[in-house]
Every structure is written in C-alpha cells, then in structure tokens.
Amino acid sequence: MTQNSMQAVAYEVLEQGNNKNVALVWMQNPPVNALSKSVRVGLIAAIEQALSDDSVAAIVISSKQTLFSGGADISEFSGGDFEPPLPKVLDLIENASKPVIAVLNGPAFGGGLEVALSCHYRVTFAANKVGLPEVNLGILPGAGGTQRLPRLAGVAQALDMIVSGRPVAAKKLPGVFDLVVEQAESLLNEAMAFCNKVINDGAIIKRTSEVTIDPNTAPAELFTQYRQGIAKQARGFFAPERCIQAVEAAVSLPFLQGLDREGELFMECMASKEARAQQHFFFAERAASHVKDYDKTTPTRDIRKVGIIGAGTMGGGIAMNFANAGIPVTMLELKQDALDKGLALIRKNYENSAKKGKLSLAQVEERMALLGGSTSYDDLSDVDLVIEAVFEKMSVKQEVFKSLDAVCKPGAILASNTSTLDLDEIAAATTRPQDVIGLHFFSPANVMKLLEVVKGEKTSADVIKTTMMMAKKINKVAVLVGVCFGFVGNRMIESYGREANRLMLEGANPEHVDKVIYDFGMPMGPFTMGDMAGQDIGYFVRQSRQEFIKHDPSYCVIADRLVEQGRVGLKAGKGAYLYAEGSRVPIPDPAVTAIAKQEAERLGVEQRNISDQEILERIIFPLINEGALILEEGIAAKSSDIDVIYVYGYGFPVYRGGPMQYADEIGLKTVYDAMCKYRDELGEHGKNWFKPAPLLKKLAEQGKRFSDL
Ligand code: NAD
C-alpha cells in the first residue's frame, strides 16, 4: 500500500496486483468535511494521480470523518476563493476513464451529495441520510444536484428533496444507490467487494449525465400540483420556485443545457435579498451561543433533576421539554387539584402526539414516568435547577423564591419564567442572587424554539453558561439578554400592538392592517394575534404599566373598549373580529370599526385613508427603533441576537432575516427618515412614539448597518 497525504484529502493505493489496484481518496476536513478550497484542490490532485497510474483500476471516494461531507464551506460565500469551482471537480470525476465509486460512510449534504451523484457508483448503509438543504440558505444546489438527482432518484422524489431541503434515508433512494448495506459497520468490507466486482465486470462507467428521464414520470401536472402544495409554506421565499424551475429544466433540457440553466438560477438566488437574509440568519443562530459572559474555562453545573413551580400553561410545556430530553422533573403546585390538572394536560398533549404517530405509547409512558408532582417545597431539596412559572405578580414570585432559597441545595440554579417582571427584584428575595436567572420560554413552551436567557445584575458566569448549554439539550435556541421590561422580544412587540390600534383610530380597519403585516411575511397580523392570545392579556399588562402610557389618552383605547365589552378574542367568539362557533377564521365586524370611529371623535383624531406603506412602516419601524435602543443599552449584545429572537419567538419571516437585518437591507437611513417623518407629521402621537433612537440616527448618518457594530 502506498500512501501520501494531500492535506484535506488523503490518497492511498490498495495493492491488488494485475493492474487491479484501487485508489482510495479520503476527504478529511474536520469537523464536517466541508468542500473548502483545500478539499477541491485535493480531490482534483487525487483523481488525476489515480488516472495517471496504470496499476489503478478503480477509484473510491470516501471520508474518515463522521460525515461523508456536510457540503459547501459556507464561510467562503462571503468573499472566499471559489477556484477551483466544485462543478469543475465533479466534471473531472464524472468524465474519468476509470470507475469512481462513492462510499458514503456518513451523511452527505449539499455539495457532498453532489460529489456522490457525479461518481459512477454509490454505496452506503440503510440508515444513512442524504439531502440537498441549499434551499434553507436561500439558494439551490449549484453543482449539478438539480440535474443529477432527478436522473437517479426520480423526478418527484428529487423535486421534494431539493425544494424542501429535507434529508432522506438511503434505503428510501434505491435509484441513487447501487448497494445499500444493512449495517454501517460492514460498509467498508462490502464496499471493497463491490468495487472489485465492478473491476472484474469490465470496469463499466455509468455516468449520471447519460441517464435519460422518462417524460411520463414528470408530467406538467406534477409541477403544478407541487407548486400548489407548497404555496403556503413557500410564501415570500425566493429559492423554492427557482429549485422547481431547475428540476423542470432537468426534464426538458439535455444535461449540459440543464446545467447551464441551473447555473443561471443559482446566480439569481445568490443575488437575492432573501438569500442574504437566510444566510445572515444561519450565522446569527450560531452566533447567539457565542457570548462574552463566559469562556472555555468557566465551569458548568450538572443538571440531572429539575423542579418546576406552577403546573399551568407554561409550567406544563416547560416540564415536557425536560421529560423529552430524559431529565426527571418535579412539578409543584399549592393545591393537589391544580397539580392533577396540570399533569393530566401534559398526558393529553403526549397522547395527541402519539395519535399523530410522533410518539409511541411506550414513549408517552416513559415521559410521564419522568414527571412527578408535589405540593411540598421539601421535595425540591435535591433539584439542580428549578424554574418558576407562577402568576405574573411580583409578590407571588418573591414568596416562591423565598421558599426556594430556604429548601434548595447550595448551588441549585433558581430560574424565573417571568415575561415582564424585574429579575433583580426577584433575586433580591433570596440570599443567593448569583444563582438566579431568567429563563423566558415562549408559548407553547414545548413547541417554540426560542429561550431568552435573562442575566440579572448578580447572575454568575457559570449559571449563565450552564443554562445556555442546557438549552441545547432541551432543543431550544437560547439568546442571552439583560433585564428590562419585557426583555428583548416583548419589549419590542409593544409598538406592534400600539401602532396597530392607533392606525385603526386613524381610520384603517383591522383586516387591512392584518393583511399588510401578513403580506410582509408575519404568520398573522396584530389584530388576529391579539384575538388569538386574548385581548385581555394586553389589557392587564396595560393596567400595570400606567406610568408608561398614561400621558397618551389614545394608547390602545380600542383594545381597551373591546375588552370592556367582553370582546376578549377567539375564546369569547369575538374580539377585533367575530368568530363562528368552533371556527378560528376571523370575520370582519362593522361594530369594531364603529368603536374606532366613536373613539376617534371623542379624542379628536381625524380618520383618513391610510396606505399599505404607512401601515407597514408604522408597525415595523418603531420595532426596529426599539431594537436600536436595546442595543445601545446593552440589553442585547448584538443585532443578530435580536433577529434570532424575532424569527424563533415571533415568526418574523426568515427570508427577511429578522427585523435588524431587514433594516440593514432597506437601509438605516430609510428607517431613520421615516421615523422623523412620522414624528413630525403625527402630532402628539408622533412626538410620543416616533423619537428615533440615537444609535439609529448615528448609523444612518454614517451610512452604516446594525451588523457593522
Ligand atoms: P397560568 O395561570 O397558566 O399558570 C400559573 C400556575 O401557577 C397555575 O397553575 C397556578 O395554580 C400556579 N401557581 C400560582 N401561584 C403559585 C404558587 N405560589 N406556588 C405554586 N404554584 C402556583 O400562567 P402561565 O401562562 O403559565 O404563566 C406563568 C408565568 O409564565 C408567568 O410569569 C407568565 O408571565 C410567564 N409566561 C407566560 C407566557 C404565556 O404565553 N402564557 C409566555 C412566557 C412567559
């Protein structure tokens, strides 16, 4: 055996005599075998060496990492060296005069799968997964994936893989793989036997590009139906339609022309603002876990047992996250019946998942077995972390924390799920404020990915690090924030409801406002959202926030009137809209516009026609402005953290990258100028609520972006 290492690609020759040697080409670019420049260069050199060696009869491409390859090196997207481009490497592989066999020892994604598709044979194990996830970054597979996968997997299967980006198990792709072995452990041996069979059978070369697609397998209706099927989830995204067009090209054009078309569509995607936003978001999510408050040397605490105070809406959902991760939970309520009710609701949730086939009945029981209940604080003496989710009232929370302080073991982390209250005041009820932290889950807590981790003035670094790491274990995306009313997410959303109400006072109707916001990409408009959550929730918050709003007599007056008339939203069958019995479909109600008219007259607000643009700017720009204040105050460490909070917590469209990325994209001067315009044109309301944040002003004047900070 001869061996020589070419950095990211190792080359060795398996001597078998009689000119039947096999060249083994190993990709070795940890951690994920990204197809960085060094790998592309290495692959070319290895293939050329194998081709020029007369003793070599076949070439195997594989990896010694856990992944075959995770695909393109995304860090090269912004200004990397693209030479040699991946398609050039794949051309060399596909046109090689000796058979090239891809042995997929682990998952192959994106460019990694494209490498395999350009080989003449593919071998893997049944459970291995492959996919083309480029669509999630706002682009499409640009190295022949859209042309080769339909030729091997079939058009319908390839279309779904390329447009959804979802990985598929190898055993479900018989057209793609020439050999699928059952066990991963036997892969290498069986792959070598397969390779020798190829050599002994005459070293036949099977080029994917030469496979013809039977047009009967891809009628025009297939594409029409697929487009209709994904219309809702693809709303606003740029790449899915281009992915579909690329697969259509695979059907209608010869291979080389299809590749050209794929290239054009790829460039269109790369130049789109949606791709910029999605790629920004990809990095933003990863950057959220890089915080300055701790480092590698900071110790962490073990979390083996968790306590939860309050088995209501949030407590129940939070408990499920831990049970799902195999961590035992003790739930505490003051009364047994409240506890029983909470646990019964959790069981019902799990059983519903089982009915949908997401869990087995055995799994339901396993998870329920991890959930215990108690009405005595003494049962929390050995928990490592306790999360309080009782009523949102300072005196109640302080009482709970005093009790926890008395019973919990030293070093236990004491967390609160408060949405609005001052964490430092809660911590002050204990003798160990360094162990107190906010863990702000979003509802429904077992579903929503976001977790705002709120650090108090005295929270210790190891408590922050432990909870940030724990978030990953329970499958949440954690963002570290500071203490202020509503933290980042709810503080910024304040303007959303306030301006929606004010626009109505000025003459817009709820369905108009909601349509503009829905069309912008939010899952629903502010009035629908208010009805779903319950208009009374905002009402109670306003009651407790009088010092902040009492200077503005028009503040959310319509919402106040709605609640006073019992129009609390969906649960009452009426709110900003009407709802038919058992239906969630909002029906516009003239009675609501009549309330707005009456209130406008009472407050001397002139009603008028309001444009879509004004609605959008008045609802979204103050939210961005609040984000700027949050950055200035250091409540969020970076603008991308705010974007993560908004996409995961509030459904802000990922193809806009989050509010701060959206502002960067349209230009901070645009946002700043509009804030000034509304400040000057909307009278008292403008003066009250459209004061541009100094940071927004500064960056706009300097022609900078939030992401430059
Ligand atoms: P909830 O009313 O559904 O549940 C509160 C539970 O706490 C009730 O079961 C109640 O019996 C119990 N409880 C009250 N006082 C207690 C005490 N002293 N000891 C033990 N148990 C006690 O309320 P929720 O919606 O689950 O909200 C709980 C907390 O979560 C609040 O701080 C709220 O602001 C926060 N939060 C709520 C949401 C949401 O959307 N509902 C989202 C994020 C955060």
How high does pLDDT run on average in the chain? 95
C-alpha to C-alpha distances, 561 to 81, 186, 472, 552, nearest whole angstrom: 61, 71, 43, 16
Report which protein residue has its CA nearest ligand 1's atom 44.
419
Query: Above 60 in pLDDT, residue 3?
Result: no
Number of Cβ within a 10 Å radius of residue 191: 23
R_g of the chain computed on alpha carbons: 29
Cα-to-centroid distance, 535 and ligand 1 (Å) = 18
Identify the pLDDT of residue 455: 98
What average pLDDT does the segment 679-693 reach? 96
Identify any residues that bridge with 124 across adjacent strands, giving them in sequence order.
104, 180
From the CA of 418, give the closest atom in ligand 1. 32
Query: Above 50 in pLDDT, residue 573?
Result: yes
Structure tokens at 246: 């690329």
What average pLDDT does the segment 650-679 reach? 98
What ranges in 453-509 are assigned the alpha helix state H?
461-473, 489-505
Q: Is the CB of 390 within 6 Å of ligand 1?
A: yes
- Say which of 12, 48, 94, 114 is annotated catalytic: 114
From the CA of 314, give the closest atom in ligand 1. 26
Q: Is the CB of 314 within 6 Å of ligand 1?
A: yes
- List, for residues 101-127, the tens digit of each pLDDT value: 999 999 999 999 999 999 999 999 999
Q: In testing the pocket of ligand 1, which one of 309, 313, 334 has its CB within 8 Å of the most ligand atoms? A: 313
What average pLDDT does the segment 570-596 reach? 96
Active site residue 114: yes
* Residue type at position 417: N
Report which protein residue has its CA nearest ligand 1's atom 16.
390
Report which protein residue has its CA nearest ligand 1's atom 12.
310
Identify the pLDDT of residue 17: 86
From the CA of 420, give the closest atom in ligand 1. 34
Q: Is the CB of 490 within 6 Å of ligand 1?
A: no
Q: Which of 119, 107, 267, 90 shows the shortest CA–CA distance to 198?
A: 119
Distance CA(405)–CA(696), nearest Å, equals 43
Cα-to-centroid distance, 313 and ligand 1 (Å) = 7
Torsion from C-alpha of 445, 450, 456, 458, nearest 10 degrees: 100
Query: Above 70 in pLDDT, residue 1?
Result: no
- List, for residues 591-643, the tens digit of each pLDDT value: 999 999 999 999 999 999 999 999 999 999 999 999 999 999 999 999 999 99
Cα-to-centroid distance, 118 and ligand 1 (Å) = 56
- List, for residues 195-237, the tens digit of each pLDDT value: 999 999 999 999 999 999 998 999 999 999 999 999 999 999 9
Distance CA(604)–CA(557), nearest Å, equals 13
Cα-to-centroid distance, 384 and ligand 1 (Å) = 21
Cα-to-centroid distance, 392 and ligand 1 (Å) = 7
Q: Is the CB of 62 within 6 Å of ligand 1?
A: no
Active site residue 134: yes
From the CA of 441, give the closest atom in ligand 1. 43
- Please tell me the least confidently modeled range out of 74-83, 428-437, 516-525: 74-83
Q: Is the CB of 534 within 6 Å of ligand 1?
A: no
What pTM does this model have? 0.93
C-alpha to C-alpha distances, 503 to 92, 275, 500, 609, nearest whole angstrom: 61, 32, 5, 10
pLDDT tier for residue 77 given thresholds of 50, 70 and 90: confident
- List, for residues 367-419, the tens digit of each pLDDT value: 999 999 999 999 999 999 999 999 989 999 999 999 999 999 999 999 999 99
pLDDT tier for residue 76 given thresholds of 50, 70 and 90: confident
Q: Which residue has the higher pLDDT, 524 or 541?
A: 524
Identify the pLDDT of residue 389: 97
- List, for residues 177-187, the tens digit of each pLDDT value: 999 999 999 99
Cα-to-centroid distance, 320 and ligand 1 (Å) = 15
Report which protein residue has its CA nearest ligand 1's atom 40.
443
DSSP string for residues in 365-396: HHHHHTEEEES-GGGGTT-SEEEE---S-HHH
- List, for residues 535-549, the tens digit of each pLDDT value: 998 898 888 889 889
Phi, psi of 446 (to 5 degrees): -85, -10
| 87: DSSP letter | H
Identify the pLDDT of residue 4: 47
